[in-house]
Structure 1
Amino acid sequence: MAGLFLCIGAGPGIGLSTARRFAAEGFRVVLAARQAERLEALAEDLGGAPNSGVETATVDCSDSLQVAELIDRYRSDLEVIQYNAAIIRTQTLQEQPIRSIPEDIAVNIASALVAIRQAAEAMTPRRRGTILLTGGVLGITPMSNLLTLSVGKAGLRSAAQALFPSLSARDVHIAVLTIATSIAAGSKDADAVGEAFWRLHAQPREQWSWEATYG
């Protein structure tokens, strides 16, 4: 029987489409983000998926301790986690207010590392689980006017590559999906990204990879 799929940073695009794909496979879904009203709308949308069981949980990804507590709350059933949270700030470093830089880094990479740490701690004793990261082409080709997002995506890619050998040796699959195009909510691209995340999770053990690309 499928276990629990936890999406951190759930939104109407990639997060919802990926959750819908896992729900269709019988996974219990938890959608987590900062705004409760937005989450309820997403859960209502997802409620029509076959075999869906949907919960919501509020979390502020600028506070890494909240992220750790969220994962620990679901650790007994956690089979797949997707870190999808990001702050998209279209400013150069000089334009960006100083106080916003640590918040961006907290959401875009620091809390992702905490999520990976806590998920791996839950999964490795069972020798089962998948950690999925929403990457982007900015992690390969950064842009100065999206600098904190570029740094975050590069960090996710580095984390997946660095941790893949040790985690896979303990039968936990970590992978980043590097997305090279914009994804609109409800679009065919959003559905295709959800399918790409599903394929990463469903890869046979001998074919595991730490990165896939879309777009």
Structure 2
Amino acid sequence: MPVIAIVGAGPGMGLSIARRFGAEGFQVVLISRTKEKVEALAAQLVADGVEAAAFAADVMRPDTVHSALAAAVDRFGPIDVLEYSPADRGLAGVSAAEATAEDLQTQIDHYLYGAVAAVSQALPGMLERGSGTLLFSTGGSSVQPRGGSFATIGIAAASLRNYAMTLNVELAERGIHAAHVAISVFIGSGPGTEADTIAEHYWTAHTKRDKPEIVHVLPGDTP
């Protein structure tokens, strides 16, 4: 059975992505900082008939990400799809005009370096097999800059976006598809913003493999 590993799994997008892939026969690896919370999510999937397991890791500590993914491979086998969802509402954003290097470094550690840690663990096996999918999630400010408290988040998320799309350039001819999904809505705020609706983009990215980026906006809005 194929395996998807979701790094940064939560009860919103992470769980919906897990259910979408689980419905297609994927085994699901959920990785998040709080073991008890991610175990509860895995239990929901198991109750729905999806083979799933939870592992604890902090994306700000690359060694824990490496260990969690290695343990997941020991449990399920090689990772076919890696999805990185780094949202952390505990990280305060700062305006660009007021931001210090330290403000940006914290966000970059979270958004970009956590992703690099996850990819460095999952990608070698994909390259060896000549197949795999790397998916990365950010908010809309990675594509359309916004000021105020969104500024430092958007700057860091834009670096993750660039990393994802550069991976696509480098890996496409080696059987690996990398794609970035920008969610330019507040999830769960109304029609068209449901996590289950947005999760369909991830399945599309994995199966169609025809574009490096998908931007989710409300109908009629411009990405």
* TM-score (structure 2 length as normaliser): 0.84
Question: How far 1:41 moved relative to its partner?
Answer: 2.1
Question: Which deviates more from structure 2 when the two are superposed, residues 67-76 or residues 109-118?
Answer: 67-76
Cα deviation, residue 113, structure 1: 1.8
1:96 Cα deviation from its structure 2 partner = 7.1
Which residue number corresponds to residue 213 of structure 1? 215
Specify the alignment match of 2:221 in structure 1: none
2:63 and 2:143 mapped to 1: Cα distance? 29
Which of 159, 177, 188 is the matching residue for 1:184?
188
5+ residue gaps in structure 1? none
SS of residue paired to 2:19: helix
Q: 1-side partners of 2:66 and 2:152: how far apart?
A: 22
Q: What letter corresponds to residue 25 of structure 2 in structure 1?
A: G
Higher mean C-alpha displacement, 80-89 vs 122-131: 80-89
- Residue 163 of structure 1 pairs with residue 161 of structure 2: no
Contact 1:177 1:214 (C-alpha < 8 Å) held by counterparts: yes
Structure 1 distance, partners of 2:98, 2:61, is 24
Distance 1:133 1:147 in 2: 19
1:6-61 Cα distance to aligned partner (Å, 9 max, x none): 11000111100000111111111111101112112212222233x40110000011
- Does the CA-based 8 Å contact 2:32-2:57 persist in structure 1? yes
Distance 2:63 2:152 in 1: 21
Alignment of 1:27-176 (within 5 A): 27-49=26-48, 51-75=49-73, 76-88=77-89, 89-92=92-95, 101-144=104-147, 145-176=149-180
Q: Is the 8 A contact 1:87 1:149 kept in 2?
A: no
Q: Which position in structure 2 is the counterpart of 1:199?
A: 204
CA contact under 8 A between 1:34 and 1:58: conserved in structure 2?
A: yes
Identity of aligned residues (%): 30
Aligned partners of 1:143 and 1:180: how far apart in 2? 11
Q: Residues of 2 paired with 1:122 and 1:143: CA distance? A: 37
- Structure with the bigger RCO (C-alpha within 8 Å, sep 6+) is 1
Give the number of aligned pairs.
Answer: 209
User: Which 10-residue stretch deviates more, 67-76 or 156-165?
Assistant: 67-76
Q: Secondary structure at the match of 2:169?
A: helix
1:182-209 Cα distance to aligned partner (Å, 9 max, x none): 1139x86200111110111111xxx521
1:87 and 1:104 in contact (8 A); partners too: no
- Alignment partners' CA distance in 2, 1:81 and 1:23: 14
Is the deviation greater in 143-152 or in 2-11? 143-152
List gaps (5 residues or longer) in structure 2: 218-223
CA distance in 2, matches of 1:160, 1:208: 14
User: What is the letter of the counterpart of residue 56 of structure 2?
Assistant: T
Give, in whole Å, the separation in 2 of the partners of 1:168 and 1:56.
30
What SS class does the counterpart of residue 74 from structure 1 fall into?
Answer: helix
SS for the counterpart of 1:169 is helix
1:88-110 CA-to-partner distances (Å, cap 9, x unmatched) read 42433677797665333211111
